[in-house]
Structure formats: C-alpha cells, structure tokens
Amino acid sequence: MKSSAAEDALLVDRIDAILPQTQCGKCGYSGCRPYAVAIANKEADINKCPPGGEEGIRELANLLGIEFKPFGADVVLKPPSVAFIDENLCIGCTLCIQACPVDAISGASKLMHTIIASLCTGCELCVAPCPVDCISMLPLPQAAQSGQSARDKKHAAAKTARERYQLRLERIERDKHEKAERLAQKERAAAKSVAAPEADAQALIQAALERAKAQAAATKPQNTEQLTPAQQAQIAEIEARRAKAHERARPDVTPPKE
C-alpha cells in the first residue's frame, strides 16, 4: 500500500531527528534534511553520515527496520571536535562567518573573529574558506555519559543546531528580499528623476504654444466687415503666411521640404 504524503513527511522528520544537524555535506547532500529525504525515498544508504557515527547508523536501521550497514573503508571517523580561531592571525575577512551554518562565529568585517564553542557543531565548513589558515579543529573531551543519557544529550544538541540553522536560512532569505526591495526602490526613484525633467519640458512647450495662440488671436485685425473682397483676400493671405511661419517654429513639427 502506497504511503500518504503526511506519512512520508513524518518519516523524513523522524530520520532528520536522528541526524546530527552539522549540515556538513559529508553525506553527499547539501544538508541533513536533504539526506533524510533521500533515505526516506530509498535513494541513499544509512551509512553516509560520519558525524553521526555508528550509533547513528544503528538508530536509523532500527527506525527503518533494516539491517545495520557499517561505514565504507574510505570513511575516516573523527572524534567530536570544535573549531578554534587563532585570533593573532585572523584578519576579519568574515568568510568563516558566512560559511558557518549555525551562526556559531562572532565577529565583523576587519575585526577579530571568535568561535562560540557551545554552539559549534564541528562541521569544519569554516576551515577551507579561511585565507590565512587560522582555523583548526580541536577534539572535545570524551563525555563520561553513555547509553540513553548520551543519546538524549546528542539529540538535544542536534535540535538546537537545527533551530539555529533554520533561523539562519530565514534571515538570509529575508535579507535577500530586503536587498531586492531596496534595489527596486532605487530604480523607481531613478526612473522618476529622469521622467520629471521630460514632463516639465513638455509642460513648458505646451504653455509656450498656448501663449503664442493667444498672441496670434490678439493680433488679428478687427472690424473687417466693411473691407472689400480684395482687402479681405489680402488679409487672409497674410494670416495664412503667419500661421505657416508659426507652424514651422513649433519644436515638435518637422518643416516640409521645399
């Protein structure tokens, strides 16, 4: 029987809850959630997450009701670690801050950076971007806890990391929209500043034409009722020439070729 979309989503959530939320990409996917989706769709094996360790594989196997599958020979397991920045070498480039998926690095441009150890997931994503090689990974002391207590602590840390990762993604998306809106406002303001002089120029031209019409009307001869036909024809010819000259003087009219 085919599962429903709600059941598929619930399975992805349960798989994702087991993963360590380092977002390190060592599984071959862009983050823990995409890897969980791939496992749920049977597109990926359960042994692709080195940070989760063999205990993580066993939890996934128990959840899915399948056999435990150990890591391949090419996987090198490392102890849990935390990033450390040599503050004497840090140049404040912010590249590590941009790479950290859980905002566990404090600092600003051209200022010294430091790792917030309690928030660092040990993903190592900050190491490669550093241009001065001032970041190293330091193994954490092995906890004395074991069994269910250790798993609960691990899952609680993963939950915190997941929440911080989601908040970071939301902030990045919000910043992207705000930047796009600011750019759009600048473009609208620029277009308005260009259109305003053109509109003003058209208004000035129209006002000049109206004044010319008024002046022309005022200069027309009055009391022409007693003129002879020849005199009226002469006046009409003068008015026609005047109108033609006025038409040629308009800036929006191209004079006819002679």
- Angle, to 10 degrees, between the axis of helix 147-219 and the axis of helix 229-249? 150
pLDDT of residue 32: 97
Model confidence at 233: pLDDT above 60: yes
Q: How are beta strands 105-106 and 114-115 bridged, if at all?
A: antiparallel
For the whole model, what pTM was predicted?
Answer: 0.69
- Percent of the chain topping pLDDT 70: 87
Phi and psi at residue 148, to the nearest 5°: -65, -35
Going by pLDDT thresholds of 50, 70 and 90, the confidence category of residue 34 is very high
Residue 232 corresponds to which tokens in the numbers above? 């009226």
Lowest mean pLDDT among 23-32, 78-87, 146-155, 237-246: 237-246
**Homologous superfamily of domain range 5-64:** Electron transport complex subunit B, putative Fe-S cluster (1.10.15.40)
What is the end-to-end Cα distance of the chain in Å, rounded? Answer: 89
Model confidence at 258: pLDDT above 60: no
Contact 90, 133 (CB under 8 A): no
Q: Kindly report, residue by residue over 71-106, the tens digit of the pLDDT.
A: 999 888 999 999 999 999 999 999 999 999 999 999
| Half-sphere exposure (Cβ direction) of 219: Cα atoms closer than 13 Å | 11
The average pLDDT across 10-24 equals 97
Residue 107 corresponds to which tokens in the numbers above? 């600092």
Domain borders along the chain are 5-64
Question: Each residue of 3-41: b (16+ CB within 10 Å) or e?
Answer: eeeeeeeebbeebbbbbbbbbbbbbebebbbbbbbbbbe
The single residue listed with the structure tokens 């056999």 is 67
Phi and psi at residue 129, to the nearest 5°: -70, -20
Rg (CA), the chain: 39
Helix (H) or strand (E) holding 72: none
CB burial of residue 168 (10 Å; 0-12, 13-18, 19+): middle
Rounded Cα distance, 231 and 211, in Å: 28
Q: How are beta strands 135-139 and 81-85 bridged, if at all?
A: antiparallel
Residue 170 corresponds to which tokens in the numbers above? 């939301």
